[in-house]
A and B are shown apart, each in its own frame.
Chain A
Amino acid sequence: MCASMTPKERAHLVLEHKEPDRIPLIEAWLSDVVIERVLQRPFKGTVDIVDFYRKLEIDFACISFGSPIGWEKKFLDESVFLDEWGRKWQYLKGGMWGGYGMYIDGTIKTPEQLDEYEFPNPNAPGRMDAFETCMGMIGNDYAVTGTIDEGIFQRAALMTGLKEFLIYLYENPSFVRELLKRHYEFALEIGKQFIEAGAEFILHGDDVADNHGPFLPPKLYEEFVYPYDKALTQSLKKRGARVIRHSDGKLIPLMSYFLDMGVDAIAPVGRDIGMSIAELKRNYGNRLSFAGGVDIIDLLPFGSEDDVEKEVVRIIREASSGGGLILGSSNSLHTYVPDLDKLVRNVFKYVQTAHKSGVYPITS
């Protein structure tokens, strides 16, 4: 059977836990450098991101909100800069993370500083420019997905630094609550603008875990983060969007909360992060779809093309039955790899294999 649906039709069906014509693909966080290698031309902006999705036929085209018109990073030296929130980042040797560096430090060091801190305006002109460009180019056919980066917990935690934030959780809970509330409000405003601009899909990216498990005990997640996480999800869904909840790491202890708040899918998953997609589908597949699966820690940077093909076929055989499977990297397509050419060859291989072997009906 040949692919006959548009990416958007495919995306809606997979989130309804049904089998589309083929397994849809998603990539949410892309390095500019990977895009350049795939397109074989210098990266200039949103048009190149769109062309990346079109060239690889990736169904969910994920576009983040932008900075206000006229805002620019403030460089402290040649590699260290402040972002719009005043947080410190650094570009490292070995690659650029799609316009971001690696996090160094937060901007609010004490609860008192919060009173004086002026939050960025979520409705500032320019936030939706990239998304609207993407919608104008491929919005009729593709599942153009508004991406709320760093969501609520992650952005709040990086205001102080993750370690400091987790300590404040115990020592100054009202400060933590206030930070979470302010970032919930920001995230909600961004989400509303995406939907007003035509988004049918929202990716709420908010890291609450590492590969070992959640950063905080489930009971503290429930007390502090979950009310905002749920309120954001339900507000977006009430406005008609389907919500994909992204968090790095092993989320198993938090799955009941994600089910309860009503997200449509969880991303990313993968054996390399302790989230076997087949097992997740067995346990939660009637209520949630899952995205990811293709190992970005070892397989894509280091494996052979043959390894990649075998792994993608294995995932498809194990987890495609009944729909609910969106294939993608187990985190992002980044450049922190020793051999970028190898990574790009393997990305092409995984995409080609997914397109070839992911056509329904699939026999396991």
Chain B
Amino acid sequence: MMNVLNSYCPTDNSKVLSLNSLKEFGLREESLEAVKDCLLRFDSKSMRSAVDNALRDGFTASDVIASIKKGFEEISRKYDAGEFFLSELIMSGEAAKAALEVLKPHFQETARERSAKVVIGTVEGDIHDIGKNIVSTILLSSGFDVYDLGVDVKSRDFVSKIKQTDAQILALSALLTSTRLNMRTVIEDLKKEGLRDKVRVIVGGQPITQEFAQQIGADAYVDDAPKVLTAIDKFIQVT
């Protein structure tokens, strides 16, 4: 950041510049595009240097995260259209993790800009976690504070984590026809604890459908992992 400020704004190096203002100064966006490309090509090795370059060019960690988020939105479209497959989704998640490692020391500056807190987990009785882990990685690398409670999570543990963190989003995963019913229990428990109006609940997993999500009173259903971003964006717009 300092290098860029010195290059583009040498008289006011204490000013924190936003992406828009950097654009005004003519900063090229190629380095952010490179980050997105690494995600789409799930190239973890190049991702590290791409993120380094973007930071060196003066972009903030938030800018990089926004670029990764855009990449996942594109992946979501491709996955939905059958042009992207699970192995590629996993590999793009690995590339996002590589980006996060480089960004970690810069998170302090972006902490306030993180848009929401998300509690996520696979419901009680179910130990499947591939889909949940992909969602978790996408959320983390898209700038959300993520509290991943793992698998076989009891309803009371979801509720307690939401109380503790003031999370605005709860993402529940299930792969079994039987365990999906435990999603309803979690929603009921949120009501009992007076938290239901404060938390938006997203459900997903193989046996979950839009109809089922409506039946149990969830706020959103996502049929593939990257769509979680669209769902949360809608909440934020509504809020």
Contact = CB atoms under 8 A, between A and B. Distances in A.
Contacts of B88: 217
B86 A216 contact: yes
B220 interface: no
Contact of B85 (A167, A213, A337): A213
A95 B179 CA distance: 11
B20 interface: no
B12 to A, nearest CB: 46
Given A95-B178, A162-B130, 18 more contacts: A94-B178, A102-B127, A104-B127, A166-B91, A167-B90, A167-B94, A169-B87, A170-B42, A212-B86, A213-B82, A215-B86, A215-B87, A217-B85, A217-B87, A217-B88, A253-B82, A301-B177, A336-B177
Contact of B90 (A94, A104, A166, A336): A166
Interface in A126-154: none
A296 B176 CA distance: 11
- The 5 A-B pairs with the shortest beta carbon distances in the complex, nearest first, are A166-B87, A336-B178, A216-B87, A336-B176, A215-B86
Nearest to B80: A212
A217 B90 CA distance: 12
B86 A92 contact: no
Contacts of B86: 166, 210, 212-216
Contacts of A210: 86, 206
A294 to B, nearest CB: 14
Interface of A: 90, 92-95, 102, 104, 162-163, 166-167, 169-170, 210-217, 220, 253, 296-298, 301, 336-338
A170 B181 CA distance: 37
Given A104-B127, A163-B130, A337-B178, A211 B87 contact: no
B72 interface: no
A339 to B, nearest CB: 10
Contacts of B176: 94, 336
B127 A92 contact: yes
B125 A93 contact: yes
7 contacts: A104-B127, A163-B130, A170-B91, A211-B206, A213-B85, A297-B207, A336-B178
Nearest to A211: B206
Contact of A215 (B79, B82, B85): B85
Interface in B157-172: none
Contacts of B127: 90, 92, 102, 104
A163 B87 CA distance: 8
Nearest to B178: A336
User: Interface centre among B79, B85, B126, B179, by most A CB within 10 Å?
Assistant: B85
A192 to B, nearest CB: 31
Interface string B173-216: 00011110100000000000000000000000011010000000
B19 to A, nearest CB: 32
Nearest to B223: A212
B62 interface: no
B73 interface: no
B31 interface: no
Contacts of B128: 102
Contacts of A212: 79, 86, 223-224
A216 B90 CA distance: 10
B39 to A, nearest CB: 14
A215 B127 CA distance: 19
Given A102-B127, A163-B90, A167-B94, A94 B179 contact: yes
A222 B109 CA distance: 46
Nearest to B128: A102
Interface in B125-176: 125-128, 130, 133, 176
A90 B176 CA distance: 14
Nearest to A170: B91
Nearest to B181: A338
A216 B130 CA distance: 14
A170 B82 contact: no
A211 B79 CA distance: 12
Nearest to A220: B87
A163 B133 contact: yes
Contact of B87 (A93, A95, A170): A170
Contacts of B181: 338
A95 B126 CA distance: 12
A217 B94 CA distance: 17
Interface in B55-100: 79, 82, 85-88, 90-91, 94
A253 B223 CA distance: 19
B177 A216 contact: no
Contacts of B82: 213, 253
Nearest to B93: A163
Contacts of B209: 298
Contacts of B87: 166, 169-170, 215-217, 220
Contacts of A170: 42, 87, 91
Contacts of A104: 127
A297 B209 CA distance: 10
Contacts of B207: 297-298
Interface in B9-58: 42
A338 B183 CA distance: 13
A338 B82 CA distance: 33
